[in-house]
């Protein structure tokens, strides 16, 4: 057998296998899904997320905004799994 005849025979075999696989796949019956897909609940209002959006809208001026600095620190702590830093109690002046 020369190379051309062998290549043609291989191509015919490949096409026959592809047609057979397609026919088998097309005759396969689809079963109904076992359960209904889960529905997403209404998202819970997250004040941190809202503050992040506000800081995002401020743009470059957010870098000097104290509220945005606090929001970014809280976001960083939440991401890293750290407890928020304790705030110092107000000191009584003049007692």
The total number of structural domains in the chain stands at 1
Burial 66-92 (b: 16+ CB within 10 A, else e): eebeebbeeeeeeeeeeeeeeeeeeee
Query: What's the domain range around 55?
Result: 47-80
The answer to whether residue 53 is domain-embedded is yes
Q: What pLDDT was estimated at residue 90?
A: 59
The answer to whether residue 67 is domain-embedded is yes
- CA neighbours closer than 13 Å in the CB half-sphere of residue 75: 15
DSSP H or E stretch at residue 4: helix 3-27
Q: What pLDDT was estimated at residue 44?
A: 78
- Contact in structure between 56 and 71 (CB atoms under 8 Å): no
The answer to whether residue 76 is domain-embedded is yes
Q: What pLDDT was estimated at residue 3?
A: 86
Q: Does the reported pTM lie above 0.75? A: no
The answer to whether residue 68 is domain-embedded is yes
List per-residue pLDDT tens for the chain, 95 residues long. 688 999 999 999 999 999 999 999 998 877 766 677 777 766 778 888 899 999 999 999 999 999 999 999 999 998 898 876 666 565 665 55
The answer to whether residue 90 is domain-embedded is no
Tell me how many helices (H) and strands (E) the chain has.
3, 0
């Amino acid at each position: 057998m020369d190379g051309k005849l062998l290549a043609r025979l291989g191509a015919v075999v490949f096409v026959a296998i592809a047609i057979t696989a397609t026919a088998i796949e097309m005759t396969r019956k689809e079963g109904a899904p076992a359960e209904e897909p889960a529905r997403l609940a209404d998202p819970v209002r997250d004040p941190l997320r809202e503050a992040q959006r506000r800081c995002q809208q401020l743009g470059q001026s957010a870098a000097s905004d104290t509220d945005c600095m606090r929001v970014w620190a809280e976001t960083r702590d939440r991401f890293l799994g750290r407890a928020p830093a304790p705030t110092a109690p107000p000191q009584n002046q003049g007692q």
